[in-house]
Amino acid sequence: MGLFCKPSRKTMISALATPYPKKNITTLVNDFDECCPLRELTNPTMVMGNWDDIDEISSTNGLVLLYVLKLQLVQWSECRLENLHVLEPSRRIEAEAGYTELWDENEEALTCAGSAFTRHVIRRNGLFLPSYSNSAELMYVVQGRGLYGVTMPGCPETYQSDESQFRGRQGTSEREGVKRFFGDRHQKVREIREGDIVAQIPGTAFWIHNKGQSDLVLISVIYTSNEQNQLDQNIRKFFLAGNPQEGSQGGRRHRTRGSQQETKYGNVFQGFDDELLQETFDVDSDLARKVKGEDDRRGHIVEVREELQIVHPMIEEGEGWEEREREREREREMERGSSRRRGSSSQRQNGAEETLCTMRLRENIDNPERADYYNPRAGRITTLNSFSLPILSFLQLSAEKGVLYKDAVVAPSYYMNSHAFIYVLRGNARVQIAGDNGQSVFDGKLQENQVLVVPQNFVVIKKAGSEGFEWVAFRTSDNAMKNNLAGRLSVIRGLPEDVLVNSYGISRDDARKLKYNREELTVFSPSSRSARGLRRDDAAN
């Protein structure tokens, strides 16, 4: 019985792509009849159906190609995390009014976590063109201020202006010989600023405009493993305008190496005939061609030549006004939630109107007053989950923002139900990560604009450098739970002294030191002993 057979790989992949398990197996058996037993497959039910189907074919001495199928399953069944390393952008896509940096989607740690990273830099008056994606996305505003618009399916156009408010730029419409003027109507537009977390729902179109005086910088995690994504693990960006360059369309995981096939990129309307677009929008041929944008060379971020005439509430003067307005927005959302819970079953409500249409999509986590953990000698950490921003339960993502002062330490901890992606905003830190067998899987320095993946249950320690350390972390759970191994409310603190004595072979006095020497909760101020020890380690490295 041969181990390496040479049947058509294309036939096998085509069979796996069809939705009929028995047909898949029969096709495979016909093509791969001299390889290895079907029962030896790695979890074949993931690909081909239930065990009854497999046993039925196996009973007729059906054989398939284990070697090739394992290659197809490796991205789902294996995570090789013995040696983590710092991740930096691997590609840069330039546009007229900015650029996008992308991290390599084929990095083992990112693939295992079903995620990808991008960084958008939108220059002054730049407009990130309307687009949507197959994956959930969470963005953090690193710098600047701008407008963020999102179009929810079925939601009303609640922002509108009359002719006088539209500054002489009214639209016109001619139907049945009647000419009329109108203002603008569109869905809600939100202002975003430094420190904002912005949630992007899969399949909803959004755009971003830089209305500030400096660059608008956003870091984004794209979560392809979100249950809303019914496609593959590739990041697919669907632009509604322009002619984006290659790379703006998202990465393709597991490409065939050495492939020279040229791929054409563009907005979704380029896939339709001019005549059909004319009929669909009831416009002339010239406008239909402009919508397709085949001759547009500006890229995915374009420059706005004149001020955008967009209807949105203007920021009032006065310190703290914006924060107060956002607090009122949170209170209104909580009141709506309470009303829904109190409502009787006979009072049917419009689910879309009461949830997605009015739900908050942003929250600022940069305000020190909102910190969840604070130590005046060490720093602070602010967390954001679906309790404080309910839309995150739909995305299955959450976030945290951390600020460490010089030489401060974050308690050794692990996430019980999620992976974490650390992105460095400012400063640097020494980071160590320990794996399941007690091995060190990472020990190094983390610096600005670098990303480090911390797998679920892997223990991580962060110690700030001489310039301090500021980071934002994204987690692959809307309610990520973290367990500390030192300090108050830690695992060690919760163990009986006798358990520590016998587990570590130490005296009762040492067990008490282990439990009670650190009275701080999560953010530790530097002790003279730890500072000396880690400085010696840094010098040795």
- Considering only CA atoms, which of 466, 424, 463 is closest in space to residue 447? 424
Q: Quick check: 132 and 206 in contact, CB under 8 A?
A: yes
In the chain, the percentage of residues whose pLDDT exceeds 90 is: 47
Confidence class for position 437, pLDDT limits 50, 70, 90? confident
Q: Hey, what amino acid is at 141?
A: V
Alpha-carbon distances of 520 from 371, 374, 507, rounded to whole Å: 15, 10, 23
The CA distance from 359 to 336, in Å, is 10
The CA distance from 230 to 219, in Å, is 25
Task: Give the pLDDT confidence score for residue 130 in this predicted structure.
Answer: 93
Task: Give the pLDDT confidence score for residue 349 in this predicted structure.
Answer: 41
- pLDDT value at 331 more than 90: no
Task: Give the pLDDT confidence score for residue 3 in this predicted structure.
Answer: 34
Per-residue pLDDT tens over the stretch 21-75: 444 555 555 555 444 444 444 344 444 444 454 445 444 444 444 434 444 444 4
Per-residue pLDDT tens over the stretch 498-536: 999 999 999 999 999 999 999 999 999 987 665 555 555
- The domains found in the chain, sorted by start residue, are 9-77 (no CATH), 89-166+181-253+264-303 (2.60.120.10), 379-540 (2.60.120.10)
Query: Which of 68-72, 113-117, 235-239 is least confident?
Result: 68-72
φ, ψ dihedrals at 312, nearest 5°: -165, 150
Task: Give the pLDDT confidence score for residue 81 in this predicted structure.
Answer: 81
Pull the structure tokens for residue 225.
Answer: 């493993």
Per-residue pLDDT tens over the stretch 216-235: 999 999 998 877 777 777 78
Average pLDDT of the residues of the chain: 77
Q: Quick check: 237 and 299 in contact, CB under 8 A?
A: no
- pLDDT value at 404 more than 90: yes
Q: Does pTM top 0.95 for this prediction?
A: no
Q: List the helix and strand counts (H, then E) for the chain.
A: 15, 29
Per-residue pLDDT tens over the stretch 417-430: 999 999 999 999 99
Alpha-carbon distances of 245 from 248, 357, 523, rounded to whole Å: 6, 32, 44
- pLDDT value at 492 more than 60: yes
* Cα radius of gyration (the chain): 27
Task: Give the pLDDT confidence score for residue 460 in this predicted structure.
Answer: 97
